[in-house]
Structure 1
Amino acid sequence: MLSPGRLRCIIVDDEADARRLIEKYVQKVPFLEIAGFAESATDALYLIREMKPDIIFLDIEMPEMTGFELLKLLPAARPAVIMITADPSYALEGYEHELTDYLLKPVSFERFLKAVNKVDNARVPKYLQATNESVRELGSQAKQSTEQAEAAGFTSDFLLLKENKKLIKVSPGEIHFIEGMRDYLKLYWSDRVAVIHMTMSKIEEALSPSQFLRVNRSYIVNKKVIREIEGNEITTNSGRKIPIGITYRANVLAVLQKNRI
C-alpha cells in the first residue's frame, strides 16, 4: 500500500540490473516509494495510467518503443521525468522534452539524490496553495512595473542570484548564455558556470531584450557573444554550438537582421 505524502515512482528500463539499482536508491530516500516497474515503454504506458506516479525513471533505448516516443503519448500534465541512459548524445533532445533531469549510467547515489530533490523541492505545501491567486496577482503587478520601467529606459545594473546558500551579484552583460534544466538554470560566464534554482521564464523577465535573445526552450543567448549562424545553429565566440528552435527561428533572424549591414 502506498503512503500519503511520499513521491510515487515507477522505474522503466529493459535491463534488470538497472531497475534493481534505481530501486535500491529509491529505498534509501525517505520521501520516495516504488509504485511499479516496467520492462518496456509499452508496459509503462499502462502502468502510468493506472498508478499515476509522481516520478518516472525512464530509460531511452528499449524494445518496441523508445523513452522519447513514450513521452509523446503522455498528456501535457505528466509526472516528473528523470531520464536514465548510457548515451550522452541524447542530452539535447532530452532538454527539448523538458525533463526534470538527465542521468548517465552508471548512476551514482549522489547524482540520483540531486535529481529527486529537484522534484521534492518543486512540491507546493498545502498551506501555500490557498495563496496562489494572491501570488499570481502580485506577479502580474510586478511584471507590469518592470515593463513600465523598461519603457522609461531603466535597466538594472546587476542581478542578485542565489546559488546554493550564496547570493551572487551578476552584471547581465557578463553572462554569455543561459541553459535551462526545468526548475534550474546554468549561467555561463567566460570563467565559470553557476547553477541556480530559477525558471527560464523568470530569468527572461529579468533580462533586457536589447541584450539577450531566447533561441529555443532551453537557451537564452547574449547577442554580443554570437559569432555566426549556420542553418539552425548558433556558434558563440567561445565555440559553443547552440541549436535554434523551430518556433524561435523567425524571431531570432528578425532580431539579428536589424544589425545586418
Structure 2
Amino acid sequence: MSGNFKTTLSCVIIDDEQPAHNVLRYHIEQISWLTHLKSIYSAVDALTQVPALGPDIIFLDVNMPNLNGLTLLDLLPGHRCNVILCSAHSQYALDGYDYEVSSFLLKPVNFEKFLKAVNKLRLKAHFGDSFHYAPTESISQAALPSPPSADASSLADQQLLSVFVNQQAVWVKADKKHLRINLDEIKFIEAQRNYIKIYYGQKQELLARASLLDMENNLPPHKFIRTHKSYIVNRGAVTEINGNIITLDNNFRVSISKKERNEICRRLTQ
C-alpha cells in the first residue's frame, strides 16, 4: 500500500479503574492521529459495545470484576490483533503473547512505550498484515517472562526444533525427523527471544530453538544480511527499499536499523 497514512485511529479503553483511564486518555491526547472513542469500565459492557464501535485500537486491562480481559479476548477473537494489553502484573505479558495481542504495556504506562505500541498499529493499518514491526516493546520485552522449558505443555505441542545450517540448506530437527529448507526458499528470519521464526516459501513459517546470532554466524553472508537486531533477510528476496522498510517477494515487510540504514542499503544494492 502507498499514499498517506490513515488520518486518525480510534481508541477504546476497557478498564475498571479511573486512574488507568486518565493516564491512557492523556497519552492519546498527545498524539494528533489518535482519537478517544469511548471509555468502558466493565468487560461485560465491552462485550456488546466493542463490536458496535469498531475501534482501531483497544487498550485492555486484565484484572476486572465479573469478566476479566483475557476471557473477553476469548469472546472477541476477531479483535485480538488490535488489542494493547495493559496490566500492573508483568506475568500477563506471556498471556498476551499467547493471545496474539499487538502489545503489552506495564502499568503505570510510560508514554514512550505507549507511542511505540500505537505506532506499530498505525504502520499495520497502513501497510497491512504483511508488515513486520521490529519487536522493541511489543509484548514488552522488558516485561515478558522467559519462555517456559521445552517440556512445558504449551511448548511441547509446538515441538520446538533444533537448527543446523550448511551452504545449501537449513536443516530443522524434530524428534527423529529432519526437515530441509533450501536457503533460496528462506525469505527472512525473525528473533523471538530465545527462539527464531523462519519464514520461507510464500506464507510458511517455523518456530525453532536457536539464536539470531547463531544463524547470522552460520548463514552465508553473500546470501543473507542482518538488517536489524530482530531480522536476517535473504538478499535475493528483497524487491524494494523504502525508507526504513524492506519489501520482500512474498509481500512481507521488515524493518531496517535506522543507525545502520545507509550501510545496509549499500550492501544490499552492491
Match of 2:232 in 1: none
Gaps of 5+ in 2: 1-5, 129-167, 170-178, 215-270
Structure with the greater relative contact order (CA < 8 A, sep ≥ 6): 1 or 2? 2
Partner Cα distance (1:152, 1:125) in 2: 32
Matched, 1:178 2:166: no
Partner of 2:209 in structure 1? Answer: 221
For the residues of structure 2 that align with 1:114 and 1:49, how far apart are their CA atoms? Answer: 25
Alignment of 1:209-248 (within 5 A): 214=207, 220-222=208-210
2:47 is aligned, of 32, 35, 45, to 45
Structure 2 CA distance for aligned equivalents of residues 83 and 56 of structure 1: 8
Which residue identity does 1:178 align to in structure 2? A
Secondary structure of the 2:37 match is strand
Is 1:118 the counterpart of 2:97? The answer is: no
Equivalent of residue 199 in structure 2, options 204, 217, 235: 204
**CA 1:63 to 1:114, structure 2 compared with 1: closer, same or farther past 3 Å?**
same
| Count of residue pairs brought into register by the alignment | 157
* Residue 124 (structure 1) shift: 2.9
Write the distance in 1 (CA, Å) between the matches of 2:195 and 2:206.
Answer: 15
SS in structure 2 at match of 1:14 = coil
Q: Given the superposition, is the C-alpha separation of residues 15 and 77 from structure 1 closer, same or farther in structure 2, using an over 3 Å criterion? A: closer
Unaligned 5+ segments in structure 1 are 127-148, 162-171, 180-185, 190-199, 215-219, 226-261
Instruction: Return the structure number with greater helix share.
Output: 1
Alignment match, 1:23: 25
Note closer, same or farther for the CA distance 1:13–1:222 as it changes in structure 2 (3 Å cut).
same
Deviation at 1:75, TM superposition (A): 4.0
Call closer, same or farther: CA 1:187–1:122 in 2, change over 3 Å.
Answer: farther
Change (3 A) 1:124 1:188: same
| 1:77/1:20 CA distance change after superposition, 3 Å | closer
Map 1:135-214 → 2, pairs under 5 A = 154-155=182-183, 178-179=191-192, 203-205=198-200, 214=207
Structure 2 counterpart SS, 1:43: helix
Q: Distance in 2 between matches of 1:153 and 1:36?
A: 48
TM-score (normalizing by structure 2): 0.50
Contact 1:81 1:100 in 2 (8 A): yes
Q: TM-score, normalised by structure 1?
A: 0.52
Instruction: Measure, in 2, the Cα distance between the counterparts of 1:152 and 1:92.
Output: 31
User: For 1:62 and 1:101, how far apart are their aligned partners in 2?
Assistant: 19
% same residue? 35
Deviation track 1:146-186 (CA, whole Å, cap 9, x = no partner) reads: xxx85998536x99x8xxxxxxxxxx8xxxx932xxxxxx5
Q: Which residue of 1 aligns with 2:105?
A: 103
RMSD: 3.6
**For the Cα contact (< 8 Å) 1:53–1:79, is it kept in 2?**
no
Match of 2:95 among 93, 96, 100: 93
CA contact (8 A) 2:84 2:101 kept: yes
Question: Which portions of structure 1, spanning 4 or more consecutive aligned residues, are displaced by more than 4 angstroms?
Answer: 149-154, 186-189
Deviations 1:75-127 (A, max 9, x none): 4355600000000111111101001000001111111001000000112369x
SS in 2 for 1:9: strand
How far apart are residue 204 of structure 1 and its match? 2.6
Q: Which amino acid aligns with 1:82?
A: I
Match of 1:255 in 2: none
> Do 1:213 and 1:222's aligned partners in 2 also have CA atoms closer than 8 Å?
no
